[in-house]
Structure 1
């Protein structure tokens, strides 16, 4: 009885001493400078504070602009403990329920579940170790695995993975196309991530139905393939992110995307109920333009949206 009591006390001490780590999923958006010469780019900014930052720099070895994610490094012991916690959490965490909750509720649930498992497994962790492990628990269970930092970057428009053993490329609002340091090397991990994307989109992907076209809860557009019969390098995916607040006509003028005369012409077309066809290639700004000229639709008008995949 005494031993059992001591074990219970030890577990309680383990749980009580570890406070929930602070994690900011939406740190302040930095003002990034523009560089006429991209070989001079060398900047860092935070993506998930205080754990993850990105280093953008010109890599002379490959003669490309690099987008390098910097995540916490785990010791061998911490990696083993993380694996044990993840195995236990797979049986306890209802991810579909969590993604609908607010940020604090999600983090509290992960923290509570992790501490319960720590007590049951008798694992003792320092505050620093628990903080690092807590980030990976969030990333892999609630976030989008290795892609989560990319998804949290306000400046990223597109995330593109062309299969196994190829680096993920991103399209940055300021520095455009860049190669990242994220590479899927195991087909099971890549296929599992594509399945996760499908679940988040409320869709299903399998060998029988190997194509995915859907939208994430935040409105980001997802397209993916699942088998080597479709794409020779294995599963692939692209994620197209959209701004949470559509750009206004005034902003498009400020960005020199459209002239005042062009917008005035669109306004007249809408006022006189003319048909407008907006076409263009991927990431050419079709949705951005449509959202902007939609400001000219009279408030009393009835708007009907028919979409194959909701944007």
Structure 2
């Protein structure tokens, strides 16, 4: 099994294409779901389903004129205050979480347990935030450090068999069991983000 990776970087790779396996459904957390992402006018909603409740959902839409489908990821985002705390706690987690000396069966569980202890240690000094904010912050930290970053929600979708991207500021495409090759609303805004994602695959 792969070892936990806390910080990755790789230059020069600009395309990803992978196969993924079904991911076991994780335990839900007691926080409200994100508000629905606005659907572009003129598109018809074909299907909705959760990826990792309550943090991420997907909406499949269709353009009635062209018949083309689109995969719209709706993910719970951090507000400006939460983003500031996230940036600070991320530095602390990278500095204080040590990679395990032996291989582990569940890197996400290892990270979650370690991160909770560190958050409890620094929670007061980082400023008061409601529990719901900490759930969101830890979700994004896990997604970005031991998950697959922006495409982590896609990796949780058992309907997706392949993910591909041709470069920065270009849409990510997925091969969906029911809709075949369809465009998503995800893009990589910078080379560094794309490179860091590629090296984790």
Superposed pair shares fold, TM > 0.5: yes
Structure 2 CA distance for aligned equivalents of residues 63 and 126 of structure 1 = 44
Deviations 1:9-46 (A, max 9, x none): xxxxxxxxxxxxxxx96169xxxxxxxxxx86521111
1:26 aligns to 2:25 (yes or no): yes
Other structure's SS at 1:81 match = helix
Unaligned runs of 5+ in 1: 1-23, 29-38, 198-311
Structure 1 CA distance for aligned equivalents of residues 120 and 57 of structure 2 = 26
Deviation at 1:189, TM superposition (A): 1.3
1:86 aligns to 2:85 (yes or no): no
Alignment equivalent of 1:107, drawn from 112, 120, 123? 112
Equivalence for 2:71? 67
Does the aligned pair in 2 maintain the 1:95–1:141 contact within 8 Å? Answer: no
Structure 1 CA distance for aligned equivalents of residues 101 and 64 of structure 2 = 46
Could you say which structure has the larger radius of gyration? 1
Equivalence for 1:149? 153
Matches for 1:253-264 after TM superposition, within 5 Å: none
Bigger relative contact order (CA 8 A; separation at least 6) = 2
Higher helix proportion (structure 1 or 2): 1
Deviation at 1:105, TM superposition (A): 4.0
Does the aligned pair in 1 maintain the 2:71–2:182 contact within 8 Å? Answer: yes
Other structure's SS at 2:168 match = coil
Task: Report how many residues are paired.
Answer: 163
Other structure's SS at 2:169 match = coil
Change (3 A) 1:80 1:99: farther
Unaligned runs of 5+ in 2: 1-22, 28-42
Other structure's SS at 2:123 match = helix
Deviation at 1:97, TM superposition (A): 6.4
Higher strand proportion (structure 1 or 2): 2
TM-score (norm 2): 0.70
Deviations 1:54-77 (A, max 9, x none): 111114698631111111122111
Structure 2 CA distance for aligned equivalents of residues 98 and 128 of structure 1 = 33
Deviations 1:110-137 (A, max 9, x none): 2222322324x33211011111112101
Does the aligned pair in 1 maintain the 2:176–2:182 contact within 8 Å? Answer: yes
Matches for 1:245-256 after TM superposition, within 5 Å: none
1:158 aligns to 2:169 (yes or no): no
